[in-house]
Amino acid sequence: MTSRRDGLEQNYEEIAVIGNGAYGTVYKARDLKNDGQFVAMKRIRIQNTEEGMPMSAIREIALLKQLENYEHPNVVRLLDVRHTDHTASEIRLMLVFEYVDQDLSTYLEGCPPPGLGPDRIRNILVTSQGTLKVADFGLARVYGFQMALTSVVVTLWYRAPEVILQAAYATPVDIWSCGCIFVELFNRRPLFCGQSDIDQLSKIFDILGLPPEDDWPENVSLPWNSFKAVPPQPLEQFVPEIDNDAKDLLEKLICFNPHRRLSAQEAMNHSYFRDDLDSLRTSSSLSVSEGESFETDGRSDTPSKHGGS
């Protein structure tokens, strides 16, 4: 059973190598079972252990498979997953994805926004119709153990305070991260660049101010009074290009108390996005997929709200 191939090799015909990394190789291929339509075939190597398939690979791929049920227009389809081979030290997997012609870097060719290097946007693809698609959801963690250390540091900058404080947490942690990235779109650099957990919290409070004691989560080992009481700073001081609508949204995304942070749906309905969509529709070739919370009210062309050039 060490070399089960399940006739997989006959299903797909490799055409060209389109990517190469520590984790393996990505090919452009034809799906011979489906009229030869193009697919992106990723061959990845995973470290085998006595515990079999690593937990991270199981979780990420199972989650991607579950997401498939919803056929989200902005998520790259995962068409097939197989294990092709394994030895005592290595498991080889093949993941077959929908093929998308270009990533965001290629799409923006010639005019990459300053600070957004090609590394940063490789996981966002753009179809020939101009629809954005997110690829490689957390698959970085599947690809390899060698990435583990750096990702811990990087994600710290986007980590919600309740996670750093090791309090109970839920979906608001993602909204916090979105708020941090929202700022980064204006500033082209991260907002809270902490070197350690404590440093990260201090950097957050330097801007948001130390929250009232009532907002401090229960049963956490770091007491509220271990931080200096500092007042909140006006956000526009740190995000000079922000306008009032965006500032209002930002304040509700990076709110210290997770129970008062906006939900994703509430954020989508914020006036910032409504105006923004109107201008996107009329002034840009990027199309945004229709969603239930995306109705526009048919206002005429307004200039783009993003101050950044």
Partner 1 sequence: MNLMCCETETLKRAYEDPVLLKDDRVLQNLLATEDKYMPSPTYFKCVQTDIKPYMRKMVAQWMLEVCEEQRCEEEVFPLSMNYVDRFLSVLDIPRTRLQLLGAVCMFLASKLKETSPLTAEKLVIYTDNSIRADELTDMELLVLNKLKWDISAITPHDFLEQILCRLSMDKEKCDVIKKHA
Segments in 147-243 forming alpha helices (H): 148-156, 161-164, 172-187, 197-208
Question: Using CB under 8 A, which of the segments 50-58, 103-111, 204-212, 237-245 binds partner 1?
Answer: 50-58
264 neighbors 245 (Cβ within 8 angstroms): no
Q: Which phi and psi (to 5°) does residue 92 adopt? A: -105, 125
Residues 139-154 as b/e (b if ≥16 CB within 10 A, e otherwise) read bbbbbbeeeeeeeeee
54's tokens: 């690593």
Q: Is 189 among the residues that bind partner 1 (CB under 8 A)?
A: no
Q: How many CA atoms lie within 13 A of 194 on its CB side?
A: 23
Q: Is 267 among the residues that bind partner 1 (CB under 8 A)?
A: no
Residues 246-284 as b/e (b if ≥16 CB within 10 A, e otherwise) read beebbebbbbbebeebbeeeebbebebbbbbbbbbeeee
Decide whether 53 or 75 has the Cβ nearer to partner 1.
53
Secondary structure class of 270 (helix, strand, coil): coil
Residue 305 marked ligand-binding: no
CB of 56 to partner 1, least distance (A): 9
Q: Which of residues 206-245 bind partner 1 (CB under 8 A)?
A: none
Q: How far apart are CA 245 and CA 273, in angstroms?
A: 9
Q: Is 199 among the residues that bind partner 1 (CB under 8 A)?
A: no
Q: Is 152 among the residues that bind partner 1 (CB under 8 A)?
A: yes
Which of 166, 167, 73, 87 shows the shortest CA–CA distance to 125?
Answer: 73
Q: Is 198 among the residues that bind partner 1 (CB under 8 A)?
A: no
Question: Using CB under 8 A, which of the segments 18-26, 28-36, 129-137, 164-172 binds partner 1?
Answer: 164-172
Q: Is 203 among the residues that bind partner 1 (CB under 8 A)?
A: no
Question: Using CB under 8 A, which of the segments 59-67, 101-109, 231-239, 240-248 binds partner 1?
Answer: 59-67
Q: How far apart are CA 208 and CA 143, in angstroms?
A: 36
Q: Is 144 among the residues that bind partner 1 (CB under 8 A)?
A: no
Q: Is 69 among the residues that bind partner 1 (CB under 8 A)?
A: yes
Decide whether 50 or 297 has the Cβ nearer to partner 1.
50
Q: Is 3 among the residues that bind partner 1 (CB under 8 A)?
A: no
Among 10, 102, 171, 287, which residue sits at the site for partner 1 (rule: CB under 8 A)? 171
Among 50, 214, 297, 301, which residue sits at the site for partner 1 (rule: CB under 8 A)? 50
CB of 254 to partner 1, least distance (A): 17
Q: Nearest 5°: CA angle at 107, between 104 and 113? A: 70
Tell how strand 78-86 and strand 124-126 pair up. unpaired
Which residues here bind partner 1, judged by CB under 8 A? Answer: 1-2, 4, 6, 48, 50-53, 55, 58-59, 61-63, 65-66, 69-70, 80-83, 86, 91, 152, 155, 159, 163-164, 166-173, 263-265
Query: From the annotation, which residues make up the binding site for ATP?
Result: 42
Question: Which segments are annotated as binding site?
Answer: 42
